[in-house]
Structure 1
Amino acid sequence: MKKLLLSLLILPFVVTAQDADSTKSSNWTYAGLYSFSMSQTSLTNWNAGGENSLNLSALIRQAADFENEDWTWANTFSATYAVNYQGSSALKTGDNLEYTTRLDRNINEKKTWRTSAFLNFRTQFVDGFENREATKPISTFMAPGYLTAGLGFTYKQEDFTLYVSPVTLKQTYVLDDSLSAKGAFGVDAGSTLRNEVGASLNASYTKAITPTLDVTSNLNLFSNYVENPQNIDVNWETIFLLQAWENITVSWHLHLIYDDDILVQNPDPVSGDFTSPGTQFKSVLGLGISYAFGKYKED
């Protein structure tokens, strides 16, 4: 199942790998960002204590956009994975698999405003654990999985794109029996699916700030019309990429999440399960190699 899904997501972008030097073909424009970074700590007779550790992280972001006089079809596939090795144990520290597609129809002469249909799918590759000692996963492939689809309007101006949808369907999947039984990620206990209807906003910005510094930022907001509309789901991801020398780069990856249905604070003293929602934040600073072209690297 995982291999089939991954193949279907990557298929529209295979042509880019065949011709990475050409970012435009007919009405299609391609872009890509590939990054790998690592850090290592090695200790020998270190009196202050500590353990040997190794951090590895990888990022793939691929875009394929179609545009003619009236229509625009934008597609983005991204995948990230990070792991920390400490002593003889390993712990996943980052994991994301995401595909976004949006079909736009121009409605003004400057092509800045468009009517749009939007779809986003997001999940992860492998099991996630609370810590190194844990034996039961707190997340896994398609637990959770998120599918968001809607109709709305898009404003696009150079490096900035804003999509607003007053009619959005959000589905949360928990296709793991143990997590489903606990009602994880907002589904009813024993259920594998939760449906929500509301409004959504997506804002994205991609810019080469200097010849050596690039930034990519993507913000997603969602409000459920039926249940607690004031509790807005937030998913905001920003990547800074500094080219230190040729393909050697310094990357800074920031990720903020708030979802009122995901419990991450105040563990119950008996069960150990979390009982309250909270803001999740991740910051990863890395040194590694990267390659970018198209809109992710404006020369």
Structure 2
Amino acid sequence: MKSFNICLLLLLLTTSASLFAQEVDTIPIDTKGLEIKLKRSPLPTRSGSLVFKPVQIAPITINEKVNYWKTNTAIGIDVNQGAFSKNWKAGGVNSMAIGGMINYRAAYAKESYSYTSDLRLEYGKIKNKEQLPKKTKDRLFWDHKAGLQLSKSWFFFGSVTLETQFDRGYAYYRDSENKERDQLISKFFSPAYLTESIGFEYKPVAYFSTRLGTGTAKQTFVTDMDALIDADTARNHKVTKTEFYGVPKDKNFRNELAFQITSTFGEKQIAKNLFLYARYNMFIPYDRPLVHVDHRLDVTLKAKVNRFMNVQINGVGIFDKDSDNEVQASQNLSMGIAFSLPR
């Protein structure tokens, strides 16, 4: 009996497993033409219209304005120092030099109107042992230009430029006793140049432009003529010059009308960490175009050592018969700390 019950239990388990394992087949039925009606639900339902109430949402105001101005300020300081003991066999002289520069540029552009202001301040001095202190650089340059765009690359412009120096300038010489002496040859606003110009500007790219100043006027100022005359008299024992920087010695001002060409190559990266700035100016007076043409070329090559250190070389070439009959040239190499705002 016990064996029979066990056999029956195994048979039931086998049958149940086969039932659970059986797949359920789905047979599709074509309901086309059949009248099939859904039975109405016996549960009560609510009917009616939905009422939407508008909600007032306060607009969000963003307090932002379009800034058409772009400004940049570059500041640099360089220091050079050398010291030698009295028994230094290689020779040398104790010296100390310091220089600094500030370049500020502001630019405005909206639609076809533009305005730029470029300010460049440079000053440096060196003092060698048992020698008079001397300047290494000294310049105040301020250029303003407003433009109206005529086409893709041509503008009508008007500009005002001021250029002078900060400190007194001297020429150095040795007297009969071989002592170093100095003679005053220039000072602040003696001379100074104020130039107004209108004309057309060609600007094919953002970093290069050429101005054709068909209507240009330049005023040369020598505000302290007496100081220059006294210095010349002290050295030569008599006044030999009839004019200083093109200004007659009995006046302090001279005006000229001219045609002017000014080409500017903005501070452009020409290689990795290497930047170039150049500015050329040619001034042709209308009253003496064949015998007197002024030229000035400024070139600055700057290499960035790291984020705050630069190596910079500046070169200036000037040919102005009112100042000297030969080409004047200056060169300055410096390494120092420099940074720009905004960075």
Q: TM-score, normalised to structure 1's length?
A: 0.81
Query: In structure 1, which of residues 109, 116, 132 is the aligned counterpart of residue 157 of structure 2?
Result: 116
Quote the Cα distance in structure 1 between the aligned partners of 2:289 and 2:247.
15
Q: Name the counterpart of 2:301.
A: 240
1:76 aligns with 2:118: yes
Query: In structure 2, which of residues 121, 145, 149 is the aligned counterpart of residue 102 of structure 1?
Result: 145
Alpha-carbon offset, residue 178 of structure 1: 3.1
- Residue 228 of structure 2 aligns to a residue whose secondary structure is helix
Q: Which runs of 5+ in 2 are unaligned?
A: 1-65, 174-179, 230-238
Quote the Cα distance in structure 2 between the aligned partners of 1:212 and 1:290.
14
Q: Name the counterpart of 2:253.
A: 193
Q: Does the CA-based 8 Å contact 1:254-1:281 persist in structure 2?
A: yes
* Alignment deviations for residues 205-226 of structure 1 (CA, whole Å, 9 cap, x no partner): 1201234111111111101110
- Residue 196 of structure 1 aligns to a residue whose secondary structure is strand
Quote the Cα distance in structure 1 between the aligned partners of 2:181 and 2:296.
27
**Residue identity matched to 1:281:** A
* Shift in alpha-carbon separation, 1:158–1:100, aligned structure 2, 3 A: same
Quote the Cα distance in structure 2 between the aligned partners of 1:105 and 1:229.
32
Alpha-carbon offset, residue 235 of structure 1: 1.5
Q: Name the counterpart of 2:189.
A: 142
Q: Name the counterpart of 1:155.
A: 202
Stretch deviating more after TM superposition (184-193 or 43-52): 43-52
Q: Does the CA-based 8 Å contact 2:301-2:313 persist in structure 1?
A: yes
Alpha-carbon offset, residue 230 of structure 1: 4.4
**Residue identity matched to 2:188:** F
Q: Which runs of 4+ in 1 moved over 6 A?
A: none
1:166 aligns with 2:214: yes
* Alignment deviations for residues 104-160 of structure 1 (CA, whole Å, 9 cap, x no partner): 01111x2x2110111100011111111273354210010000001111011112210
Q: Which has the higher strand share?
A: 1
Q: Name the counterpart of 1:292.
A: 340
1:130 aligns with 2:171: yes
Quote the Cα distance in structure 1 between the aligned partners of 2:185 and 2:105.
31
Quote the Cα distance in structure 2 between the aligned partners of 1:75 and 1:223.
24
Q: Name the counterpart of 1:51.
A: 93
- Residue 179 of structure 1 aligns to a residue whose secondary structure is helix
Quote the Cα distance in structure 2 between the aligned partners of 1:134 and 1:123.
24
Quote the Cα distance in structure 1 between the aligned partners of 2:199 and 2:246.
26
* Alignment deviations for residues 59-113 of structure 1 (CA, whole Å, 9 cap, x no partner): 11110011110211111011100111111541112111111001101111x2x21
Q: Does the CA-based 8 Å contact 1:203-1:220 persist in structure 2?
A: yes
Q: Which runs of 5+ in 1 are unaligned?
A: 1-24, 264-276
**Residue identity matched to 2:201:** T
- Map 1:255-294; keep pairs closer than 5 Å: 255-263=316-324, 277-292=325-340
Q: Does the CA-based 8 Å contact 2:298-2:314 persist in structure 1?
A: yes
Alpha-carbon offset, residue 55 of structure 1: 2.0
Quote the Cα distance in structure 2 between the aligned partners of 1:33 and 1:215.
15
Quote the Cα distance in structure 2 between the aligned partners of 1:145 and 1:55.
26
Alpha-carbon offset, residue 228 of structure 1: 4.5
Quote the Cα distance in structure 2 between the aligned partners of 1:230 and 1:105.
34
Query: In structure 2, which of residues 71, 77, 83 is the aligned counterpart of residue 42 of structure 1?
Result: 83
- Residue 305 of structure 2 aligns to a residue whose secondary structure is strand
Q: Name the counterpart of 1:221.
A: 282
* Identity level (%): 25
Would you say how many aligned residue pairs link Structure 1 and Structure 2? Answer: 257
**RMSD over aligned Cα, in angstroms?**
2.0
Q: Does the CA-based 8 Å contact 2:94-2:129 persist in structure 1?
A: yes
Quote the Cα distance in structure 1 between the aligned partners of 2:253 and 2:90.
50
Query: In structure 2, which of residues 286, 308, 311 is the aligned counterpart of residue 250 of structure 1?
Result: 311
**Residue identity matched to 1:97:** L
Q: Does the CA-based 8 Å contact 1:71-1:106 persist in structure 2?
A: yes
Alpha-carbon offset, residue 47 of structure 1: 2.7
Q: Does the CA-based 8 Å contact 1:212-1:243 persist in structure 2?
A: yes
Quote the Cα distance in structure 1 between the aligned partners of 2:272 and 2:69.
25
User: Which is higher, the Rg of structure 1 or of structure 2?
Assistant: 2
**Residue identity matched to 2:98:** L
**Residue identity matched to 1:287:** M
